[in-house]
Amino acid sequence: MRLSRAVLATLVVSSVVAVVASVAEPRAHALEPPPPAPWKPGPDVDGTLGMYAPLGRLQRVSSPAEWMRLTAGYELASWVGFFASFDAAFLSTDRANPPPGERGYVLWGFGGGARMGLPLGTRWRIPVRLEIGAHKVDDQGVLATYGFSHGHSFGFSYGAMIGLEWRATSRHFGLALEGGLRNDAAVRDDAGTKPPFAVLAGIVIRYTL
């Protein structure tokens, strides 16, 4: 009788252990991250919100201000693609001596170039962006007061940015931090004493179709 009870208890314990193991095993597999989706060529779009910080003589007139950019492109390979862009910086003459006092103005334009990605694993990479374009200023003539009279027509621009990008496992979404330099001929000073460079930095949200 005692042996039968021991056998019965052993069978009950074994059944409970088997049930618990069968429940825990799928949960353990569920906690494992899914493998990243395979890369394939296709179009992509991204938006950037950040800062435009003038250098050279313009930094005596304007402090760093808001900057936004929209791009559309095509990834030819997992490490290289091409893009076209529109961007605008919303600046003011807050550092200049009056008159006429502080006035707001917009530096805007179009560009295009190549974007490369240096892999740092399956979900991280270093994006490198090389761009040329044309920009102009909408300022109602206020910058000419301070010696910047070239902005009413489009001027040549060029620049480069580098950053750190994270890609979601779905392959479609990405989030990056980018920063770099750009030269904007539209805001060069009339004396030509210093090149019209600016620091650009921002947060990028990217979607790949």
Q: What percent of the chain has pLDDT over 70?
A: 81
Average pLDDT estimate for 45-71: 97
Q: Is the pLDDT of residue 24 over 70?
A: no
Weakest-pLDDT range from 112-116, 161-165, 176-180, 191-195: 191-195
Average pLDDT estimate for 101-115: 96
pLDDT digits (tens, 9 = 90+) for 29-55: 445 656 655 567 899 999 999 999 999
Position 99 scores a pLDDT of: 85
110 pLDDT tier (thresholds 50, 70, 90): very high
Q: Per DSSP, what are the bridge partners of residue 150?
A: none
Angle at 205 between CA 203 and CA 206, to 5 degrees: 140
198 vs 152: CA distance, rounded Å: 19
Q: What φ, ψ does residue 189 adopt, rounded to 5°?
A: -80, 155
Position 209 scores a pLDDT of: 87
Weakest-pLDDT range from 87-91, 112-116, 136-140, 188-192: 188-192
SS (H, E, C) the chain: CHHHHHHHHHHHHHHHHHHHHHHHHHHHHHHCCCCCCCCCCEEEEEEEEEEEEECHHHHHCCCCEEEEEEEEEEEEECCEEEEEEEEEEEEECCCCCCCCCCCEEEEEEEEEEEEEEEECCCCEEEEEEEEEEEEEEECCCCHHHHCCCCCCCCEEEEEEEEEEEEECCCCCEEEEEEEEEEEEHHHCCCCCCCCCEEEEEEEEEEEEC
Q: Is the pLDDT of residue 19 over 50?
A: no
Position 7 scores a pLDDT of: 45
Q: Which amino acid is at 68?
A: M
Q: What is the mean pLDDT of the chain?
A: 86
Position 4 scores a pLDDT of: 54
Q: Which CATH architecture has domain 42-208?
A: Beta Barrel (2.40)
Of residues 6 and 71, more confidently modeled? 71
Q: Is the pLDDT of residue 23 over 80?
A: no
CB of 89 closer than 8 Å to CB of 122? no
Q: List the domain boundaries for the chain.
A: 1-32, 42-208
